[in-house]
Chains A and B, each alone.
Chain A
């Protein structure tokens, strides 16, 4: 783009100059169609179809349950460990799927981006929405299990669940726009994201009890650990789903909601950074794809 563009005469606009994420929400109908397309096409041609989105987390759950719950005896030390485990797994899966799919979304839709102008933020956002649609039935399963075991959540804990999802979604869109726009010119980006995602599953208390982290890390590092928005979101999920099933036997981290507030701030900052970088690089998308 050239500097110091002259003022536009009334009624005129510059082609290709959208208003970023805002234009995605102005064109909600297109967003809904893109999401519906992905959802419809995803398991097309497979016999199990959408059952796959239950089979995958179920298998994951089974592996960790046996390895960590039975062999490493977390079942004995952590009350209701299966619920603790599952509530973390589905949230981390939401993050993993949203983040890695939105990173690849621009390259995957290259044919379209090169030929027709539409707000390109559409692609990371729709990938994240698809991941969210995939996540909902899993949360429903969790909910049913919790009710079956005996679940007595407080309103604040329920609100925490919503905020946890929101943190993950905003953070994933922000990171996805950042790494996705870099991925257009440098495909290293999507490999790098695979690494991040691998770390993310272990950098939050998904598989192990939070109390063990508290014991092992020096205080300053514990603060860093908890400033990770995913950690805060996982803790909120534990507070909302797992803790109310333990009848007070479970243990929650101190300053849970303080860190949740910080996580919201970090996630929004990531979103702003992602949008900024996206707009910087967007001009080259149609050339480099």
Chain B
């Protein structure tokens, strides 16, 4: 473990995560499988001995093919999942842009959903009040803000959800494969906003399969393969390494 320094925002040390997949879901199934000598469950190592730390203001891309453990790692940092062994520590407020819109309710208006979702992401009432106009302006759906969300087009919905998430008060921002939302101009706007946050000294952890975009957005790249860190360096080198295989 490196020495304690106040620069670090995220510390991941010797993290291991195993998923146990149960193949049977009822007594009857278990009984029949046991008689036939089938396996009752299989375990799957999603992450193995993963260690790294991320400093304040760093923007890090987690790279790797499907199933390499990127999203699991992001969920561990956000606290949704817990490591089986090893330790994860964070300093400051963490918010995840992990599948935006998870907390939206179709029967509530855009306005009500902004408050609900921002509160779910950890904001207080006064913080939301202060940023409300900014959130609405960013989403560009002022006219429909008091309409129930179920009447929104899917594009409008994503805009609003993303807009809330990206305006939360955070120190560490986790972004999982959501930069593919919306049309081209809105995407550009989102990327610009993320750069802005990074410039303000926020720590970014991004998971995406858009390698060109990611290598532009992030300075550092961590490459995962089958749950292990195989490369940790600049994002350009990480992308190169990934492409070579």
- A66, CB-defined interface residue at 8 Å: no
Are B119 and A33 touching (Cβ within 8 A)? yes
| Complex interface residues of chain B between 74 and 124 (CB less than 8 A to chain A) | 75-92, 94, 96, 98-99, 102-103, 105, 107-108, 112, 115-116, 119-122, 124
Contacting pair A37 B89 (CB below 8 A)? no
Judge whether A162 is part of the interface by a CB distance below 8 angstroms. Answer: no
Contact B120 A15 (CB under 8 A): no
A29 touches B125 (CB 8 A): yes
Q: Which residue of A lies closest to B103 (CB)?
A: A112
Which residues of chain A are within 8 angstroms of B86 by Cβ–Cβ distance?
2
Residues of chain B within 8 A of A219, CB atoms compared: none
A40 at the B interface (CB under 8 A): yes
Q: Are B121 and A116 in contact (CB under 8 A)?
A: yes
Please give, as numbers and ranges, the residues of chain A lying within 8 Å of B65 by CB-CB distance.
none
Residues of A within 8 A of B82 (CB): 1, 16, 283
- What residues of chain B lie closer than 8 Å to A37, measured between beta carbons? 105, 108, 112, 116
* A56 CB within 8 Å of chain B: no
Contact of A2 with B81 in the complex, beta carbons under 8 Å: no
Contacts of B78 in A (CB 8 A): 15-16, 116-117
Q: Does B11 sit at the interface, judged by CB under 8 A?
A: yes
Q: CA separation between A115 and B4, bound complex, in Å? A: 30
CB distance from B90 to the nearest CB of A (A): 5
Known pairs A29-B124, A112-B120; A286 contacts B81 (CB<8 A): yes
In whole angstroms, how far apart are the Cα atoms of A117 and B85 in the complex? 19
**A8→B13 CA distance, assembly (Å):** 12
Measured CB to CB, the closest approach of chain A to B98, in angstroms, equals: 5
Cβ-defined partner of A40 (8 Å) among B6, B87, B107: B107
Q: How far is the CA of A71 from the CA of B116 in the complex (A)?
A: 51
Query: What residues of chain A lie closer than 8 Å to B108, measured between beta carbons?
Result: 37, 40-41
> Does A248 interact with chain B (Cβ within 8 Å)?
no
Contact in complex: A287, B124 (CB < 8 Å): no
Inter-chain contact A33/B116, CB cutoff 8 Å: yes
Pick from B1, B11, B79, B116: contact of A12, CB under 8 Å: B11
> Does A5 count as interface, using CB distance less than 8 angstroms?
yes
B31 in contact (CB, < 8 A):
no
Return the chain B residue nearest A117 by Cβ. Answer: B79
CA distance A15 to B77 in the complex (A): 6
Interface residues on A, range: 20 to 34
Q: Could you tell me the distance between the alpha carbons of A13 and B11 in the complex, rounded to whole angstroms?
A: 10
Q: In the complex, what residues of A have CB within 8 A of residue B1's CB?
A: 6
Decide if A115 touches B87 in the complex (CB within 8 Å): no
Which residues from B are CB-within-8-Å of A30?
Answer: 119-120
> Is A116 in contact with B87, judged by CB distance below 8 angstroms?
no
Q: Mark out the residues of chain A between 9 and 66 whose CB falls within 8 Å of any chain B CB in the assembled complex.
A: 9-17, 27, 29-30, 33-34, 37, 40-41, 44
A115 B99 Cβ-Cβ under 8 A: yes
Contact of B115 among A1, A5, A33, A111 (CB under 8 A): A33
User: How many angstroms between the C-alpha atoms of A266 and B110 in the bound complex?
Assistant: 44
Across the interface, which residues of A come within 8 angstroms of B19, CB to CB?
Answer: 287
Q: Name the interface residues of A109-161: CB closer than 8 Å to any CB of B.
A: 111-118
Choose one: B11, B91, B102; the contact of A116 (CB below 8 Å): B102
Q: Inside 8 A of A283's CB, which chain B residues have their CB?
A: 82
Report the minimal beta-carbon distance from A280 to chain B, rounded to whole angstroms. 12
A29: chain B residues within 8 A (beta carbon): 119, 124-125
With both beta carbons as reference points, the residue of chain B lying nearest to A283 in the complex is identified as: B82
Which residues of chain B have C-beta atoms less than 8 A from A286's C-beta?
A: 75, 80-81
Give CA–CA (A283, B122) in the complex, Å: 20
B107–A115 CB distance below 8 A = no
A residues apposed to B, CB below 8 Å:
1-2, 5-6, 8-17, 27, 29-30, 33-34, 37, 40-41, 44, 111-118, 283, 286-287
Q: Please name the 9 residue pairs, one residue from A and one from B, whose CB atoms are nearest each other, closest first.
A: A16-B79, A15-B79, A117-B79, A12-B89, A115-B102, A30-B119, A2-B85, A9-B4, A11-B91
Given contacts A29-B119, A114-B80, 10 further A-B contacts (CB under 8 A): A13-B89, A13-B90, A17-B79, A27-B119, A37-B116, A40-B108, A112-B103, A114-B102, A116-B96, A117-B96
